[in-house]
Structure 1
Amino acid sequence: MQVASCRWLGATCVRNLARVSSGSVFHCSDGSRCYAHTSPVTNFPKCELTSKRYPVTRGQFSQITGDDINFFVNLLGSHRTITDAAELEGPNTDWLGIVRGSSATLLKPKTTEEVSAILSYCNKRKLAVCPQGGNTGLVGGSVPVFDEIIISTALMNEVESVDTLSGVVTCQSGCVLEALDNHVSQFGLMVPLDLGSKGSCHIGGNVSTNAGGLRLLRYGNLHGSVLGVEAVLASGEIVNCLSVMKKDNTGYDLKHLFIGSEGALGLITKVAINCPSRPQAVNLAFFGLQTFEDVLSIYKDVKSKLGEILSSCEFIDASSLECVEKNLKLKSPISAHPFYMLIETSGSNSTHDEEKLNTFMEEALESGKVTDGTIATEPSRMQNLWNIRERISESLVIEGYVHKYDISLPLPHFYKMVEDMRQHLGTAVIRCCGYGHIGDGNLHLNITSKEFDQELMSRIEPTIFEWTAKVNGSISAEHGIGFKKRNFIHYSKSHSAIALMRQLKSLMDPNGILNPYKVLPDNK
């Protein structure tokens, strides 16, 4: 194993020689994420154990033994059965460095059959497991809470087929989103999902959390894009719902049970995704606005005047942009404003689309709703603009402990949440800011403090969830429930709905070994 100096903040990489980052997440030479730098302020990986920081009790699961390790080594080989404590530091801790488990075993299957054998054995032995993809989750759903066995999909990264007529790609769940998108681009297609963590996140994890991303406004969520899944139940039984047909109306559509279930009902091993044609022309506009009312007005105008080519409509407040400029030294191309919008168009005729976007900006400036703006058509300039939006999360981590909230709100209440929480918390925090997908009502509320503080946490939660429930919003828009929000799910789901979820969990995973302590609230 090589030891190298990371290129971010001078942190030391204790895994393999670090290479250049993709987006906001770095990688090691073996393709895994480089964890040395992912949480510089919290001194990764020394954050407090989840089991100590939060009131949670270990389930009645078996402890892993030497005989168990021998079984896994015989199945996978020693090189795919990881028990070294140093190598387990990263997989035990989330990207933000705010939750940490104590797993002593990580398994790396390559096939569905190996996953089946692992789960069948663990179910018989009542060994709890934690499915893990790229480990880019933000609610503690992809790391152990106690000593669950981590099942990594990192080596399940084969693209099985691309149907160029129907536009359907079938692949294993461990395919990295960016790599999958690059692969289908050779056939004039695109994956209908784009995330800031695309260089690390796995498509199986995206499907398991029903990730939304930057272009949901155009392409919808994964419940619409995913045509089929293959998943392994806790018993080891393989459920093949890997339909590639866009119209398949035969019986219950079981794939939807796995989409968004966060690995609690089954481990997704393969997916079939409907990929739209890759746009021939992409343009980007960056606007500065004085009021949030102007933001909402421009959004309405954008939908009506750019509707057929509109692919993304993002929102950034002044505090979020200030954080990126201060901590990552990125530079806004326009003057300082209270609010900003990033608008992307995608079409087939560059001249037509660019002309339409230019006309829209001229009218917006003349109306006074937009007071400064720029349009980018060159790939390098567009990437610079996207960096401002996509690297906000990275810039916040540098400030200290980050309380991240991914919520859906009716648009009239969208920014009022930020303003009210900012007033509620006052000087107790470093920053309270908001950004997100204005096109689908998804706000990313971020609160930074020097370090984790239980008193501050009690002032934030459940206040933020109560506020969200009062306006009929959702406490999770696209990141899932995971560990962090499990006991707050009642703010968005009725008691009868939660009871039905429990019944499904009991039916499909009677021993509760799949990703325990996640999604469903604690039994009381």
Structure 2
Amino acid sequence: MLSTVRCRLSSWRLLSSISSTTSSTIKYSTLPELTKDRYPNVRRSDYSIIKSNHLEFFKDLLGEHRLITDENECLAYNTDWIKANRGYSSCVLKPKSTEEVCSILKFCYDNNLAVCPQGGNTGLVGGSVPVFDEVILSMSLMNKIISLDETAGILTCEAGCVLENLDNYLAERELMMPLDLGAKGSCQIGGNVATNAGGLRLLRYGNLQGNVLGLEAVTPNGRVVDCLSALKKDNTGLHLKHLYIGTEGSLGVVTKVCIKCPPKPKAVNLAFLGLNSFENILKVFKKSRHELGEILSSCEAIDADSLAVTTEHLKLKSPLDKFPFYMLIETHGSDNTHDEEKLNRFLGKVMEDGSVLDGIATNEPSKMKDIWDLRERITEGYLHDGYVFKYDLSLPLEHFYSLVPIMKDRVGRDAIRISGYGHIGDGNVHLSICVKEFSTEVLNKIEPFIYEYTSKLKGSISAEHGIGFRKTNYVHYSKSQEAIDIMTNIKCIMDPKGILNPYKVYPPSRRWSNFK
């Protein structure tokens, strides 16, 4: 068996073709409850209610086609894509320029109107939709590429540019975005920056805090903060751009981004492996770091239940038989002969020592896409099961998978499926607990236990999705009281009226309104 597998690995052919069949559009018979009803402890703050004179101002500024007030049309902007959170805003604004964003925010600030900035609305923690009736500021029409320095590999663009569109544009010029997400076809670069998105290749290219050279943002009272530097070295004073990276639109609205883009790799190879234990995943990852070194770009771990939602619900075909665990290992390099040789040698070693039981490898783009779909579409597949309690945590590697069996014991038969997958390369696990429908009883079994457990292991309650609305009560499990005080003081200084993305990021007991 092993020699046969090793032969197939070295031949760089898939064992069988993988179906690229996608699921039909998911239809929901009912909308999720309003967030205010599902979480009744949250109270609307004393912001103004949108009135006709407010709408007249927005209509004069944007025109009637970029002001949305129709209830049915607003619904898509009010509801997040996993159908877990829903606001009831009656006003969606779609600016096309920084100047229009300035005018909108100044008016909202002067009139005490709360604002929810929104990119592609692909967030998973309720950060991109209103909690109550906040004005929705959609950045989707600010989607122009401003410039590209091909020599230095520096792209400047507006915040509403879709990540996949940027990557396609760069690919034609032998460059790439340093960020790759399953939601790349919908998410926008401004939202990625606002949440400091991580993604599939952070292991190789790092996070956005290291790749964003500069940005432009608009303050809550409508002033432009121009930090749109294209320099890789700029050591003059405070790096103000970091006030907007990862703060989820709570301090200002990002309108333009300057980002460094690495060369598109000339050689890309992908291995998909079957294993019988998580301990073997750790062994393979450790060996991959030593054996693949500079060409290792991504290392993902998937358990059987996670893979099943794509093969069962989305009808994607796995090239491997059923195993308890799977790994995706990708390499990026400049010499395919060299990279194939390194990968073959590595795969041979992990087959010989029994860490890997079966596997395939390929460098054909279409087949690599089919394999990546098995990983990237897991969240979509879970939506067919029912309601998903989805958690994004950073844990020490030896504890990466530990919460899955623990939560199976705690939640038991209340769950349809409990699984874990994610970025083993950076310790970021995605834990999914699926139930037939939302249940407060199940929620209480999960929270705050899951955050207490994470805190005891010195982990992070949010690895890459942010805090949003869903985790504001639990920030103290990852941040000290001193750190929380500084965070809320900064919010108080930069947004004293608290109009930007209220009810999110900051602990309810320490929000800026308490400082008034």
1:7 corresponds to: none
After the TM superposition, which residues 61-72 of structure 1 pair with which residues of structure 2 at under 5 Å, given as runs? Answer: 61-72=47-58
Change (3 A) 1:522 1:513: same
1:139-218 map, 5 Å: 139-218=125-204
**Length-normalised TM-score, structure 2:** 0.93
In 2: Cα distance, 1:431 partner to 1:272 partner:
41
Partner of 1:243: 229
**SS in structure 1 opposite 2:294?**
coil
- Identify which of 356, 359, 380 aligns with 1:370: 356
Name 2:5's counterpart in structure 1.
Answer: none
TM-score (norm 1): 0.92
- Aligned counterpart for 1:49 among listed residues 34, 37, 41: 34
Question: For residue 35 of structure 2, what is the amino acid of its counterpart?
Answer: T
SS of residue matched to 1:306 = helix
Report matched runs for 1:116-131 at 5 Å: 116-131=102-117
1:229 aligns with 2:215: yes
Q: 1:134 to 1:24 in 2, by over 3 A?
A: farther
**Aligned counterpart in structure 2 of residue 302 of structure 1, from 288, 305, 312:** 288
Q: How does 1:454-465 map to 2 (within 5 A)?
A: 454-465=440-451
User: Secondary structure of the equivalent of 2:213?
Assistant: strand
Q: 1:397 & 1:182 partners in 2: Cα distance? A: 28
Q: Secondary structure at the residue paired with 1:523? A: helix
Could you tell me how far apart the structure 2 residues matched to 1:292 and 1:134 are? 34
Please say if 1:387 is aligned against 2:373.
yes
Deviations for 1:165-219, whole angstroms, at most 9, x for unmatched residues?
1100000000000001111122211000000000000000000000000000000
Contact 1:25 1:199 in 2 (8 A): no
Which whole-Å CA distance do the structure 1 matches of 2:308 and 2:446 have between them? 23
Q: Distance in 1 between matches of 2:482 and 2:98?
A: 34
Cα distance in 2, alignment partners of residues 347 and 80 from structure 1: 45
Letter in 1 for 2:271: A
Q: 2:92 aligns with which of 106, 113, 121?
A: 106
Supply the AA of the counterpart residue of 2:244: F
Once the two structures are TM-superposed, the CA of residue 24 in structure 1 deviates from its matched residue by 8.2
Instruction: Check if 1:442 corresponds to 2:428.
Output: yes
Paired AA for residue 220 in structure 2: A
Distance in 2, matches of 1:520 and 1:442, equals: 22
Aligned to 1:275: 261
The answer to whether the Cα contact below 8 Å between 1:24 and 1:394 also exists between their aligned partners in 2 is no
Which of these residues, 69, 80, 87, is aligned with residue 73 of structure 2?
Answer: 87
Any idea what SS the aligned residue of 1:230 has? strand
Q: State the 1:521 CA deviation.
A: 1.1
Please tell me whether residue 133 in structure 1 is matched to residue 107 in structure 2. no
Residues of 2 paired with 1:303 and 1:433: CA distance?
Answer: 26
Tell me, in whole angstroms, the C-alpha distance in 2 between the residues paired with 1:450 and 1:23: 26
Aligned to 1:402, the other structure's residue is in SS state strand
Note the 1:475-494 alignment, pairs <5 A.
475-494=461-480
Q: Aligned ranges for residues 290-369 of structure 1 at < 5 Å?
A: 290-369=276-355
In terms of mean alpha carbon deviation, does 322-331 or 444-453 score higher? 322-331
Report SS of the residue matched to 2:143. coil
> In the alignment, which residue of structure 2 is the partner of 1:115?
101
Alpha-carbon distance change, 23 to 85 in structure 1, aligned in 2, over 3 angstroms: farther
SS in 2 for 1:515: coil
> Matches of 2:29 and 2:509 in 1, distance apart?
34
Contact 2:22–2:315 under 8 Å retained in 1: no
Partner AA of 2:201 in structure 1 = R
Q: Distance in 1 between matches of 2:97 and 2:22?
A: 29
Contact 2:394 2:462 in 1 (8 A): yes
Gaps of 5+ in 1: 1-21, 27-36
Helix, strand or coil for the counterpart of 2:148? strand
Deviations 1:347-383 (Å, cap 9, x if unpaired)? 1111111122122111111110001010011111111
Q: Distance in 2 between matches of 1:499 and 1:455?
A: 32
8 A Cα contact 2:301 2:326, kept in partner? yes
Distance (whole Å) between structure 1 residues aligned to residue 354 and residue 130 of structure 2: 51
Contact kept, 8 Å, 2:23 with 2:314, in 1: the verdict is no
Tell me if the contact between 1:211 and 1:222 (Cα under 8 Å) persists in the aligned partners: yes
Please state how far the C-alpha of 1:271 moved relative to its aligned partner.
Answer: 0.4
Q: Distance in 2 between matches of 1:302 and 1:281?
A: 17
| Structure 2 unmatched runs, 5+ | 1-19, 511-516
Alpha carbons of structure 1 residues 25 and 498: separation in structure 2 relative to 1, 3 Å = farther
Return the offset for 1:103: 0.2
Q: Given the alignment, which residue of 467, 470, 488 partners 2:456?
A: 470
What SS does the aligned partner of 1:421 have? helix
- In the TM superposition, what is the alpha-carbon distance from 1:523 to its structure 2 partner? 2.4
Q: CA deviation at 1:25?
A: 10
In structure 2, the residue corresponding to 1:273 is in which secondary structure?
strand
CA distance in 2, matches of 1:488, 1:334: 40
Deviations 1:102-124 (A, max 9, x none): 00000000000100000000000
2:127·2:469 contact (CA, 8 Å) conserved in 1? Answer: yes
User: Secondary structure at 1:520's aligned position in 2?
Assistant: coil
Deviation by residue 1:54-95 (Cα, 9 ceiling, x = unmatched):
020001100111010000011000000110111101000001
Counterpart AA for 2:319: P
| Equivalent in the alignment of 2:7 | none
User: Do the aligned partners of 2:143 and 2:157 also contact (CA within 8 Å) in 1?
Assistant: yes
Q: What does 1:410-429 align with in structure 2 at a 5 Å threshold?
A: 410-429=396-415
Distance 2:23 2:48 in 1: 35
User: Quick one: distance in 2 between partners of 1:366 and 1:314?
Assistant: 21
Larger mean Cα displacement after TM superposition, 419-428 or 386-395: 419-428
Which residue of structure 1 lines up, in the alignment, with residue 15 of structure 2? none
Relative to structure 1, the CA distance from residue 231 to residue 24 in structure 2 (aligned partners, 3 Å threshold; closer, same or farther) is: farther
The alpha carbon displacement at 1:447 in A equals: 0.4
Code of the residue aligned with 2:164 in structure 1: it is: E
Q: Which amino acid aligns with 1:382?
A: M
1:518 to 485, 489, 504: 504
Q: Which has the higher contact order (CA 8 A, sep 6+)?
A: 2
